[in-house]
Structure 1
Amino acid sequence: MIQKNWQELIKPNKIEFSSKKKTLTTLVAEPLERGFGLTLGNALRRVLLSSLRGAAVTAVQIDGVLHEFSSIAGVREDVTDIVLNIKEIAIRMEGDGPKRMVVRKQGPGAVLAGDIQTVGDVEILNPDHVICTLDEGAEIRMEFTVDTGKGYVPADRNRAEDAPIGLIPVDSLYS
């Protein structure tokens, strides 16, 4: 009986992958039984999000800032908003181990992810992403720690016991 059930299922005969962006791939498998597409898609998404390795910012140190509830003169966003914007930076990194990146900018204008000075094997995938906005005469310097991992790691697990004062841990979404 089980053998008969599997033989009567509609099995996909066409599977295509298409990449339109560096961070997005579409998989098309057809034809499928009614309702199987959603079931297979959710299972595949969950497995990929929990299993794929990626890179993310794990900590940031901003000159003149001691904690994430501070504000910076001449910067429109407070440090909490800046950290939220930093979490959205998409990064590709070859190799393992933590890497350091720095951004230094003077106002007026927006500080973009593309302004970050990266090391050789680190690439910013969304260079137009706004980190913060500077007013006339304002200046900011931030140093980021980037690492590789899987899944999601909350900020409290990114905090080293011997971390210097002013190092702000960041939630890391690696996938």
Structure 2
Amino acid sequence: MCKDETSTPTRLIQWKRVESKRESKRLHYGRFVLSPFKIGQANTVGIAVRRALLGEIEGASITWVKFRGVIHEYSVITGIQETIHDILTNLKEIVPKAESNDIKEAFLSVTGPKVITAGDMSLPHSVKLIDESQYIATTTQPISVNTESKIEKDCGYRTEKLNDYGDGKFSVDAVSMPVRNVNYSVHPFVGCGKAMREMPFIEIRTNGSLTPDEALSKASKKLIDLSIPLSHIKCKEVPDFEENHNSFDSQINNANQSKREFFKNTFIDQPELPARASNCLKRAEIHTIADLLSYNRIDLLKLRSFGEKSVEQVSEALWKRFSTKLSNNKLDV
């Protein structure tokens, strides 16, 4: 006979992959279930795992590319169908998989006429491409195309802009996110002793550089690493806080600065806003969370076609994704 426990030991919690499929080379899907949890615990786990999956896992991407004899992003090279801007957009879609964190270089040297794809790039042995058929450009004349690219590992979005285009070097709006999308849902059931329990189902979609199983494992390890310092707090260490408060305050200031930098590099697509609200913000030239943080509720209501419902949706999304509140007068971080 099962006895109803006052807590759920972690050794009893199990996970299982209930569905897995490869929708394309750059889209892998996995659905997982974890069980059992007490009422309220499943939602806590779901939120933490989702945030770790979307924000803590590193991925490789092309961060800049150098073209010979090009001085402007919207330049058109005779014999190439695409502008430099179009080529940069296509390079952004390439998904490399790098084993180490070292910065890698990739080279492209082809002669047209030719349809240029990611498979035409020369890469280090430690880097491979998930989809070599990814389109880059088309040359319509017998011209040579030579580029040099940099591949880096990072987390999230990067919108760094190189100031000097004189040497033909252009930054790519890199997306270093192996996990493309995460959803979770919580389902109650009757456990041992007729006690109500919960199980979260977690759906993960990746870009192919990681399987959903690998992504879930990495996210779990990230959460463990974040939690371990809390398990070593001892009562006898409390008096030392006064001696080190200046250092602690400095760490807090650095954390706030890092958060501001993070917001500058995070697009408003990340909180998964409804399409209507997202489109209204983009029309108002609000593209990043930092842009959004410069508006308060009253300012947002002044935007065209942006009503109270949209403001509430933005407020809810900011809190759910970034623990940031939207007040009447300002955004509280």
Asked if Structure 1 and Structure 2 have the same fold, meaning a TM-score greater than 0.5 normalized by the shorter chain, the answer is yes
Asked if the contact 2:66/2:169 (under 8 Å) is kept, the reply is: yes
C-alpha distance in 2, partners of 1:38/1:65? 52
Q: Which residue in 2 is equivalent to 1:15? A: 16
**Structure number, greater radius of gyration:** 2
Q: Deviations over 1:73-125 (max 9, x none)?
A: 10000100000000000010011221110011111121000110000101111
C-alpha distance in 2, partners of 1:25/1:105? 35
Counting aligned pairs with the same residue, the percent is 27
Describe the shift of the 1:13–1:93 C-alpha distance in structure 2 as closer, same or farther (beyond 3 A). Answer: closer
Following superposition of structure 1 onto structure 2, how do residues 30-109 of structure 1 map, counting pairs within 5 Å?
Answer: 44-109=49-114
TM-score by length of 1: 0.77
C-alpha distance in 2, partners of 1:113/1:38? 41
The answer to whether 1:133 aligns with 2:135 is: no
SS of the equivalent of 1:155 reads coil
The answer to whether 1:167 aligns with 2:172 is: no
Deviation at 1:24, TM superposition (A): 2.0
Deviation at 1:31, TM superposition (A): 8.6
C-alpha distance in 2, partners of 1:144/1:94? 17
SS of the equivalent of 1:61 reads strand
Q: Which residue in 2 is equivalent to 1:29? A: 33
SS of the equivalent of 1:48 reads helix
Deviation at 1:57, TM superposition (A): 0.5
Q: Say which is worse superposed, 99-108 or 16-25, in terms of deviation.
A: 16-25
Q: Which has the higher contact order (CA 8 A, sep 6+)?
A: 1
Describe the shift of the 1:42–1:87 C-alpha distance in structure 2 as closer, same or farther (beyond 3 A). Answer: farther
C-alpha distance in 2, partners of 1:121/1:48? 24
SS of the equivalent of 2:70 reads coil
Select the residue among 106, 113, 121 that pairs with 2:118.
113
CA RMSD of aligned residues (A): 3.2
Q: Which residue in 1 is equivalent to 2:196? A: none
C-alpha distance in 2, partners of 1:162/1:63? 14
SS of the equivalent of 1:147 reads strand
C-alpha distance in 1, partners of 2:52/2:91? 26
5+ residue gaps, structure 1, are none
5+ residue gaps, structure 2, are 37-41, 178-333
Q: Say which is worse superposed, 47-56 or 14-23, in terms of deviation.
A: 14-23
Asked if the contact 2:101/2:153 (under 8 Å) is kept, the reply is: yes
The answer to whether 1:123 aligns with 2:138 is: no
Asked if the contact 2:26/2:131 (under 8 Å) is kept, the reply is: no
Asked if the contact 1:74/1:139 (under 8 Å) is kept, the reply is: no
C-alpha distance in 2, partners of 1:150/1:173? 8
By percentage of residues, which structure has more helix?
Answer: 2
Deviation at 1:28, TM superposition (A): 2.7
Asked if the contact 2:105/2:149 (under 8 Å) is kept, the reply is: yes
Aligned residues: 164
